[in-house]
Structure 1
Amino acid sequence: MSTVLDGGYYAIKGFNFQYDYTIIRILEQTNELNEIEIEQTEDYSDENIIVQVKYKERANFSNSQVKKPLCQLLEIFKTDKRKPVLYAYFKNKEEQEVSLSLQDLNDIIGDCKIKNKQYSFEEELKTEFINQFRIIFTGKYQEQFEVLIEKIIKEFNCEEEEALIYYAQIYKYIEKKVVKNAPEDKHQRVCSKKEVKELITNSREVIFHSSYTQFLGKEKYYKFIYKRFFRETNINFHERIFLFELPENFEDTNLLIQLTQKIMERYYKKVTFGGSTIIKSPAPYIFFQNAKDTVLKNMKTELLYEGIIFRDGFCFEGADFFLKNLLEESTPQNNIELKFINRYEYIKEIISQLQRTKKIYNLYLDKRIEQEGLDINHIKIEDFSDINEFLF
């Protein structure tokens, strides 16, 4: 590896280390409205402290290694009395927090000259500084990263794989705060814990999909989705509603037939107990957004030929929509195995009539279905055929 490439690797790792530290501190805030300053006065600052972050993976600690950051922190301390901190990793230092004596400080800063810049510090200032200043020798890059992931898992009540995705999104969000605000606008480089939580909460499934597929691949994304939503070891008596978005001009009737049969086989359950047959899990509801009438007709015709009994709210040719037909209870006698919602405008009316526990899934390509008052699990899909391939 060339010296230039080698230097670039460690510089990037240093930035990552700094931003990871910043995210940790944001998540640790007890007041979610506290605004954290990112690369303003220093690498990190809040209402109490000013922190310069250094990651020296290949270097041993020496006075020369910390002369510049201490001079910079001292210069800031002339006008800003928040607690100054040097948060640093050196390969020969164990994790610990240390203070300096006046002699230690003078030994480090020496003539106070860094290249062509000459600093000047009064003894009174230096004495005041060392009473506040701390060096925090921290662990390795990976160790800090693992601490951060654990904090994300705890904060968002998620698994490790999901936390990695939220980490990537938060990191990009913090980075943009710096990149998009030039030095003259650096006062806008602020972020609160409330901001981060809203970032994840308000667009959780979209963030998850775009980040997961980008960083970990589509197959792992769908494995997680299956595990999170559809891997039920015991199918309970719930009303299940599946809202699918079809691509424009979709014509693949066979794919819809395969999908509906898989959903029926998985979620419509009858059991025999003590000589009696009962419905353990009723017929699921299915809606295909953007479906052409001809495609729906061909699909339903084929299902009838297969002997599958379903309801769609239409009792005879030319009839108006009749809600009671669609809501008819599945029983061992009528053996209703599937229910189809034909129109978008029927969705809320139908679901509002269901009294049992409802599980609603919207598997969408571009535009998700929003219905006020309904708790819908929105799941982003790259390609409609992925549903058959990975989820059912």
Structure 2
Amino acid sequence: MSLADKVLAVNNDLPIRTNKPVHSGKVRSVYWLTEEDSRRLIEEKKYNVPTNTPLAIMVISDRISAFDCIWKGEGGMRGVPGKGAALNAISNHWFKLFKAQGLADSHILDIPHPFVWIVQKAQPVMIEAICRQYITGSMWRSYVKGERNFCGIELPEGLKKDSKLPQLLQTPSTKGILEGIPGVPAVDDVNITRKNIEDNYQAFNFKAKDDIALYEKLLTEGFNVIANALDQLDQIFVDTKFEFGYVKDKAGNDKLIYMDEVGTPDSSRIWDGEQYRNGNVVENSKEGFRQLLLNHFPDPDILLNKDRMDERNALATNNELPSEVLMQVSKTYINIAEKITGEKIVLSENPKAEIIEILKTQFQLIK
């Protein structure tokens, strides 16, 4: 079996019993279970949710997206070996730590396979909750151009690239296109201020105004828990994106939880501590892949300029990256996952067949 066969690139074609269309994102696919199957699993597995809670099977893939495009490699490599398992392992590790430290629950109820989560339906808060401890990336690019106000926060003069910020910053942006919010353009991923959120908290899907402070507290606490744990491994937690949502507890009350993924190399920048002290930035996250793409193509503006999306999509569709590039990314993801979790990431021989077998025998969810 070739390495390309071990990569789970297509994850929206599993024969999971569902009566709704499969929702496929850049990396994950979501299969909503039937009402009967949801109820049966809640009772059989004693999940701590109301019996009428809709459940879904969330299957991660090994696809790699950057600059809003999916990239592929030569030799039929449609993803990065080990990436999906590494991402899930890291998220699972942090979610457990959050719960153990009394922060908040996540949407995950069960983990049948390294590629699979069983999740409860959550109502997402329409905010990409971004936290930054260092100035780099898009913030640095804007700072160099003279911008000093970020999401209503004023930055001082004289900051240096990749330096630690005076304090941990929360720089939220919109999740999806939100219409009709004064002062907030109706485009995806646009920076917003705390005042934007306060004045329009219901438009962002908050149930109560007080929940804004709760989300900020969970964001800061979650960031600090991960930063402290990474610090023990001599890794620097540079910045990250969290997502939040509401679920019902067993008694039917709303509670704010962490959802999607947390503290992964896809949603965060993680730097090697020793290298940073020596004046080098060594990325243990997808940022390394982004930099590689910027250096690989002669016109990096295509990747940075949202007005050139057609050219960018063509670039991703028509180019196969050298396989050593994808293997380098694989090494980065697997190494950081093993460092964080303290456990080996084992590559499945045939992830799809394994997932089907487990969901069939242990959950009776295959049609």
| Smaller-chain TM-score bracket | under 0.3
TM-score, normalised with respect to structure 2: 0.20
- Name the one with the larger helix percent: 1
User: Which of structures 1 and 2 has the bigger CA Rg?
Assistant: 1
TM-score, normalised with respect to structure 1: 0.19
Which structure carries more relative contact order (alpha carbon 8 Å, separation 6+)? 2
